[in-house]
Amino acid sequence: MVRQFHSVLAVSFGAIFLVACASGADNRHVDGGARDSGGCTSNAACGADGTCCSGSCVDLTNDRDNCSACGMSCAPSGNACFSGTCKCGGHDSCTDGETCCGNSCVDLSASSTNCGGCGVACMEGQVCRDGTCGQPEVCSPACKANETCEDNVCHCGSGAGCSGTQACCDGVCADTTSSFTNCGVCGHTCTGDMICHASVCSPSTCTPACATGHTCTAGTCKCGIGPACTPSQVCNAGRCEVPTCAPVCAIGENCTPTGCRCGTGPACSGTDECHGGLCQPPVCMPSCFDGESCVGGTCMCGAGPACGILEQCCSGECCTVCVAGICVI
């Protein structure tokens, strides 16, 4: 009798336990969070802000494994979900070929501090190539600064190696002899209206202005590739030449790029002559006799030469005796 009572009691207790378990199965989740095994089956079970994804309630606005939609994972281009948009360290998610490591976008195939995986750093002296740490290649001839050697070929960024006066600046070849933003060395930017000439930031204009035929190069007038011509020369087709004047300049005057000149002034006019850089009346040494005129430093009687010692110039003619401007003998 006692044994039968114990059997009935055990069966009754087991039935009560099963009913209790069955009635509590629908209340094992936490509102707004992921559910345990066998959790949500529809969005209705997740509340107003939740969504049922793979049996778990998630918030699509901040779940990095379900960002904006179920199964939309931010990895590997992002590490967080903000307002339904994947981010990498608060910035836009990484582009194709990059991975978000420590809030920064890196190329796992080439990053020496994240080689093949986030946080995988190469040893000192090694480089990361195709996601594997190894010894750097050596090109012959050696690559320029900031270039890389691959299969014995130098590269600047994703392009070919730089040539001539070019340097590899931020992955792009730049001519440091003329680059405004890389003048002389990478990153050296000229200011204002300066220009980069021969690797030096220089003025872009010349003061005073260059003479005809010249060019202003970095604030200096030049004739062709040479220096500026002297004041008595002209720059013709990149060469300094002595100018030619037509008609030929008078005695004492100089032929300049602007024509004949007496000193710093214009050519002399009338019967004046250029002496010592100044226009002056004709001067003959020794002085001419009465009636004669000084023409170009030579005494003349009329249109002819000066008269002889025993003659005198009378109204443009040489004679022995002149009375009242008339030759008598």
- Write out the two tokens for 213: 């035929």
Strand-pairing partners, residue 154, are 149
Q: Which residues contact 237 (CB under 8 A, 6 or more apart)?
A: 224
How far is Cα 128 from Cα 111, in angstroms, rounded to an integer? 6
Q: pLDDT band at residue 25, thresholds of 50, 70 and 90? A: very low
Q: Which residues contact 157 (CB under 8 A, 6 or more apart)?
A: 168, 170, 171, 172
> Residue 183's closest CA among 193, 171, 196?
196
Q: Is the pTM of this model over 0.75?
A: no
The torsion of the CA quartet 207, 210, 211, 214, rounded to 10 degrees, works out to 170
> Residue 198's closest CA among 182, 215, 180, 177?
177
How far is Cα 149 from Cα 141, in angstroms, rounded to an integer? 10
Q: pLDDT band at residue 245, thresholds of 50, 70 and 90? A: confident
Contact call for residues 298 and 292 (beta carbons, < 8 A): no
Q: Identify the helix (H) or strand (E) that includes residue 166.
A: strand 166-169
Question: pLDDT tens digits for 130-167?
Answer: 899 988 878 888 899 999 888 889 999 989 999 999 99
How far is Cα 187 from Cα 181, in angstroms, rounded to an integer? 6
- Write out the two tokens for 284: 């003959």
Contact call for residues 282 and 296 (beta carbons, < 8 A): yes
Which pLDDT does position 69 carry in this prediction? 94
Q: For residue 260, is pLDDT > 80?
A: yes
- Beta strands 195-197 and 200-202 are antiparallel
Contact call for residues 155 and 139 (beta carbons, < 8 A): no
Which pLDDT does position 183 carry in this prediction? 95
CA 208 and chain centroid, separation: 28
Question: pLDDT tens digits for 171-192?
Answer: 999 999 999 999 999 999 998 8
How far is Cα 258 from Cα 261, in angstroms, rounded to an integer? 8
Question: pLDDT tens digits for 286-306?
Answer: 888 888 888 777 888 988 899
With vertex at residue 297, the alpha carbon angle to CA 296 and CA 300, rounded to the nearest 5 degrees, is 80
Q: Identify the helix (H) or strand (E) that includes residue 23.
A: helix 2-24
Which pLDDT does position 29 carry in this prediction? 34
Average pLDDT, the chain: 82
Q: Which residues contact 18 (CB under 8 A, 6 or more apart)?
A: none
- Write out the two tokens for 77: 């281009």
Cβ-in-10-Å burial (0-12, 13-18, 19+) of 158 comes to: exposed
To the nearest 5 percent, what fractions of the chain are helix, strand and coil?
10, 30, 60
Q: Which residues contact 286 (CB under 8 A, 6 or more apart)?
A: none
Amino acid at 55: G
> Residue 144's closest CA among 171, 117, 122?
171
Q: For residue 242, is pLDDT > 90?
A: no
